[in-house]
Amino acid sequence: AQKVTQAQTEISVVEKEDVTLDCVYETRDTTYYLFWYKQPPSGELVFLIRRNSFDEQNEISGRYSWNFQKSTSSFNFTITASQVVDSAVYFCALRPSGAGSYQLTFGKGTKLSVIP
Amino acid sequence: EADIYQTPRYLVIGTGKKITLECSQTMGHDKMYWYQQDPGMELHLIHYSYGVNSTEKGDLSSESTVSRIRTEHFPLTLESARPSHTSQYLCASSVLGTSTNTEAFFGQGTRLTVV
């Protein structure tokens, strides 16, 4: 069984503050993928990043960075110098990497509000 | 940018009506999915497909049905809508196999309200 926990239901920050969204996962699979998606008020889910369980190297993309720690089963997401456009619901997700795997397990999401 | 489209974006319909939610993708993806999103934000997989003529039920039981006659289309049908079906429905697609490009791309969703 797989499980993704996003303990923070809602977070509010003032513009230009840094914010970290937590994600903790559980899986019995030895290989898997982790994802982050952004859901703005318009409703669609926008893919942000994919991370293979083999690759624990942290990644930075502009103001976004991700910290993957297999030892603690965490895949946290940090937004630096937050902006109002970052306001959205953010989902962490997990999927086994086997050829027959289909199941994307989502966390419950964290609603981020960036206040001007 | 993902090329997956859902229509309609919003639908308000009376109880007992039959409805079909459309989903189309132009990326040639074999795998397609339908998720139901509760008002409290959590997403649940209700249907998926590995390719043409393949349909399977997901983890969340749903009274809806799906079909996959063409690779690019994956419509979802409710034969008799009820207020309990009020939700957002999100369609997604991804490549088949163990390719590194395994992320699912999502449509904009259909917000269904049954009155």
How far is residue B71 from each of residues B31, B53, B67, measured CA to CA in Å?
A: 9, 9, 10
Distance from CA of B103 to the nearest CA of A (A): 7
Pull the structure tokens for residue B77.
């049908």
How far apart (Å, rounded) are the C-alpha atoms in residues B3 and A47?
13
Residues A37-69 pLDDT 10s: 999 988 889 999 988 888 888 888 899 999 999
Examine the pLDDT at B99 and tell me if it is beyond 80. Answer: no
Query: Would you call B11 an interface residue with chain A, using a CB distance cutoff of 8 Å?
Result: no
A85–B contact, CB cutoff 8 A: no
Both tokens assigned to A4: 């993704």
Q: CB of B103 within 8 Å of any CB in chain A? A: yes
- Residue of B30, B102, B113 for testing the chain A interface, max A β-carbons within 10 Å: B102
Are residues A24 and A73 in contact, defined by beta-carbon separation less than 8 angstroms? yes
Task: Give the CA distances from residue B99 to residues A15, A25, A101, B95, B96, in Å, rounded to whole numbers and listed in that order.
Answer: 38, 22, 12, 7, 7
Q: What is the pLDDT of residue B96?
A: 67
Could you report the per-residue pLDDT of B39-90, keeping only the tens digit for each? Answer: 767 899 999 998 999 999 988 888 999 999 999 999 999 999 999 999 999 9
Task: Measure the CA–CA gap between B62 and B88, rounded to whole angstroms.
Answer: 13
| Contacting residues of A for B100, CB less than 8 Å apart | 50, 52
